[in-house]
Amino acid sequence: MTIANDAVPVGRRVARLAGLPLAGCAVVLLFAALLVSLRLEKAVGDLVDDRVALLASQLTEVVEGGLRFGVPVADQSETVRKMRALMDSDAELQTLALLDDTGKVLLVQDRDGMVPALSPRRVQRLLLQPPGRAVERYTRSWREHSSVHTLMQARDATGTTGAVIWAVYAAQASQAVFERTLPPLLWTSVALLAGLALVVTAGVGWVVLAMRQRLGRQATAPFSEPGASS
């Protein structure tokens, strides 16, 4: 088995040998930085989802209250007041809309006059969902561009879906977490990798020098020396 080729300079040999563990460490640190940043983003994102669902459920309760007394969605006056109150209560709530049981938008409150497009299929799918457990409303959340969208069913006294609440919430907060945590984590990774590189290179350098010394001795030793073999 070839142990070492003396034609290769020590520096190049050390770089080759140290490159392998350091490449592994670099990939580990890179993935770790990415995964940890995403974990933090997810932690904040879950809290944002929770908040938007809570806001939507407050409007849903008002709409369901009206539906249970037989008041059609279009005739509910309290709904508009509640929508305004909710919009005022949270500056990041961008759009709040009430859709009827055919998916048509009845009422919209929005902050900047730019109501995002909503796929009618998404609403129709939600309307088609059968009643689930009584305590849980059927809700669908998704992220689009920089917003969290939540659709929530509002049911009447018979359990039939009478309306759908649509809330759009700015998700910059959770995205900012990723953007704010990743750079320091990457820089930390680079610094840690530099430290690891020093230690690994020193260790590998010792091994290479020991090999060269050993081979140097062997080159000058007679082949008849006891213990020499192929």
Among 51, 105, 110, 138, binds another protein (CB under 8 A): 51
C-alpha to C-alpha distance for 98 and 61, rounded to whole angstroms? 12
Residue 107 contacts residue 98 (beta carbons within 8 Å): yes
The interface region with another protein, picked from 70-78, 110-118, 119-127, 148-156 by CB under 8 A, is 119-127
- Residue 3 as a binder of another protein (CB under 8 A): the answer is yes
- Residue 131 as a binder of another protein (CB under 8 A): the answer is no
Question: Can you give the C-alpha Rg of the chain in angstroms?
Answer: 32
Among 117, 121, 133, 158, binds another protein (CB under 8 A): 121
- Write out the binding residues for another protein, residues 143-172 only, by CB under 8 A: none
- Residue 128 as a binder of another protein (CB under 8 A): the answer is yes
Among 2, 77, 220, 224, binds another protein (CB under 8 A): 2
Torsion of Cα atoms, 174 then 115 then 95 then 70, to 10°:
-140
Cα angle, residue 55 at apex, residues 54 and 59 outer, rounded to 5°? 110
3 state DSSP class of 81: helix
Residue 149 parent element (H or E): strand 147-155
- Residue 80 as a binder of another protein (CB under 8 A): the answer is no
- Minimum CB separation of residue 23 from another protein in Å reads 6
The interface region with another protein, picked from 94-102, 146-154, 160-168, 187-195 by CB under 8 A, is 187-195
Written as six digits, the tokens of 162 are 């009478």
